[in-house]
Amino acid sequence: MTVVTRFAPSPTGRLHVGNIRTALHNWLLARKQGGRFLLRIDDTDSERSREEYVEAIREDLAWLGIEPDGEERQSQRFDHYEAAFARLVEAGRIYRCYETAQELELKRKIRLGRGLPPIYDRAALALTEADHAAKAGEGAAPHWRFKLDHDAPIAWEDGIRGAQHFDPAQLSDPVIRRADGSWLYMLPSAVDDIGMGVTDVLRGEDHVSNTAVQIQMFTALHAAPPQFAHEALLVGSEGKLSKRLGALGADALRHQGIEPEALLSLLARLGTSQPVEPMVDRAMLVEGFDLSTFGRAPARFDEAELERLNAAVVHQLPYATVAPRLPQGMDEAGWEAIRPNLSHVGEAADWWRIVTGPVEQPGFDAETKGYLAEAARLLEWGEDPWRGLTGVLKEATGRKGKALFLPLRQALTGMDHGPDMAQLLPLIGEAETRARLVRASA
């Protein structure tokens, strides 16, 4: 059987690290098995869904290199939900309810006060057709619940959590359709998984009880449920991540200069027993993906670690990959010289100004000016001008170490540290190198 996974975001905002991680893991699972990865836009909520966010989701996935093999939209599948709904009504697995949110909250508090689980008491099952007619006459529209089978214990072997068991009598019959006819998450998701041939669902552990309910929905619709795996949620360095998810959106991270490879390298291994390493080649991420390495403890997302990974990734990026983002005139030799000093590709422009000039030189004392004048006089442009220059200066002046190198770097770059001067000097060129030494010695 071909493995089919899916990522099902709601287009109510931009992608953030939590759902990027879900998308990535489902993509990796499909690629590892030679299967298919689907994007399903869960846009049944017409009030909150925005077309601009649909486009943003596609854009963010493309930036990350997480390319879906197909796309579906729930807003175009209402006929499938209606058909399933009708079948379940006929089978007696869906029933009408009328309680308000306030009434349900009161019932919940009463049950808690009696030491009972705060689940729906199924009072609506006692309503007769005459009661329903009376409600209709009052202008009350029902919402609809899926009736769990209390005689069928729910169990599955979770791909991360292992054996899972739920007593359906300890769960609320979920509302699947609102009084205005709109759909909630549970039934459309199950119907889509069936219709799209989804074989594996990998999602956050906050969906575990949803899975228990949906397994009964699959059974009621005479379909085999997918394989389920629930991973630990992400937390931040100070606890819950949700408070800062806006700052950790794909667009915000992209604006900060985070490379997609850095983000993927972190999220692929976060919460697993495998080491987090900077990997530019996505094939390595696919090859190493293994659900058996996932732990149960919350996975800690550390922005400082992401920055360290980003620098390591930048140091691996080839010129062809970054060329469109580099300053005009910067060639492969320039990139190779400057790359080791970068944390973000966007910093290349600042370093490239060392080559193109002008540079702001510090004030030198008379002795140092004399040394720099000697450097200008002795400069000969050969195959390795930096080593040639420092070699003759060492011989002529007796200087070595910092006293030999630092004044030259300061005069030529205006900085105390930076790219390897042996790589940098050929980029600056003979005439400009000599001019900078002369100017510094004046």
Kindly report, residue by residue over 50-100, the tens digit of the pLDDT. 999 999 999 999 999 999 999 999 999 999 999 999 999 999 999 999 999
* Residues 395, 399, 405, 409, CA torsion sign: negative
Three-state DSSP at 6 gives strand
Structure tokens at 113: 């006060």
Residue 322 CB partners (closer than 8 Å, separation 6+):
335, 345, 348
d(CA 123, CA 112) in angstroms, rounded, equals: 17
d(CA 45, CA 74) in angstroms, rounded, equals: 10
Q: Which domains does the chain have, with CATH numbers?
A: 4-71+186-233 (3.40.50.620), 80-177 (3.90.800.10), 236-314 (1.10.1160.10), 323-352 (no CATH), 357-441 (1.10.10.350)
Written as tens digits, the pLDDT of the chain (442 aa) is 899 999 999 999 889 999 999 999 999 999 999 999 999 999 998 889 999 999 999 999 999 999 999 999 999 999 999 999 999 999 999 999 999 999 999 999 999 999 999 999 999 999 999 999 999 999 999 999 999 999 999 999 999 999 999 999 999 999 999 999 999 999 999 999 999 999 999 999 999 999 999 999 999 999 999 999 999 999 887 666 654 555 688 999 999 999 999 999 999 999 999 999 999 999 999 999 999 999 999 989 999 999 999 999 999 999 999 999 999 999 999 999 999 999 999 999 999 999 999 999 999 999 999 999 999 999 999 999 999 999 999 999 999 999 999 999 999 999 999 999 999 999 999 999 999 999 999 9
What is the per-residue pLDDT for 202?
98
SS3 of 20-44: HHHHHHHHHHHHHCCCEEEEEECCC
Q: Cα–Cα distances in Å, from 280 out to 36, 59, 318, 343?
A: 22, 20, 10, 15
Q: Are 68 and 7 in contact (CB under 8 A)?
A: yes
What is the per-residue pLDDT for 244?
52
What is the per-residue pLDDT for 247?
66
d(CA 194, CA 187) in angstroms, rounded, equals: 11
Is cis: bond before 327, omega within 30 of 0?
no
Query: Which residues are bridge partners to 95 per DSSP?
Result: 145
